């Protein structure tokens, strides 16, 4: 599960290519590859990987860290989407890819 999450994250980041950045910015809307399924597939990969770690190493501390890291990712998603909301291409993308993080859920 951890390896699958890592591969999803790496593939997603690789799909971004030169559009990848640490600070949220509009570097163009990517719609191919894993971005056809959710709007933030790298974060989905992180979530899968972290959940796999917690499943292998269950403890209250690890569950707490999973919840905290997921909360920070959700804040980042909100910030990125607010920034991209000014782009008409992103509006079209949001209509075609409804889910932000987890396919068919959120």
Question: Which tens digits make up the pLDDT trace of 43-95?
Answer: 999 999 999 999 999 999 999 999 999 999 999 999 999 999 999 999 999 99
Whole-number percent of the chain with pLDDT over 70: 99
The pTM of the whole model exceeds 0.85 = yes
Q: Helices 41-56 and 2-16 sit at what angle, rounded to 10 degrees? A: 160
Distance between CA 37 and CA 101 in Å, rounded? 9
What's residue 20's pLDDT? Answer: 77
Distance between CA 106 and CA 22 in Å, rounded? 23
Q: How many C-beta atoms lie closer than 10 Å to residue 38's C-beta?
A: 22
The burial class, CB within 10 Å (0-12 / 13-18 / 19+), for 77 is: middle
Domains of the chain, residue spans:
2-96
């Amino acid at each position: 599960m951890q390896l699958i999450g890592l591969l999803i994250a790496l593939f997603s980041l690789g799909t971004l290519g030169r559009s990848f950045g640490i600070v949220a910015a509009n570097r163009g809307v990517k719609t191919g590859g894993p971005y056809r399924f959710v709007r933030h597939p790298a974060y989905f990969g992180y979530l899968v990987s972290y959940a796999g770690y917690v499943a292998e190493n269950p403890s209250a501390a690890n569950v707490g860290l999973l919840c905290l890291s997921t909360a920070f990712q959700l804040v980042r998603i909100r910030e990125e989407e607010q920034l991209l909301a000014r782009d008409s291409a992103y509006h079209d993308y949001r209509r075609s890819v409804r889910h932000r993080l987890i396919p068919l859920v959120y």
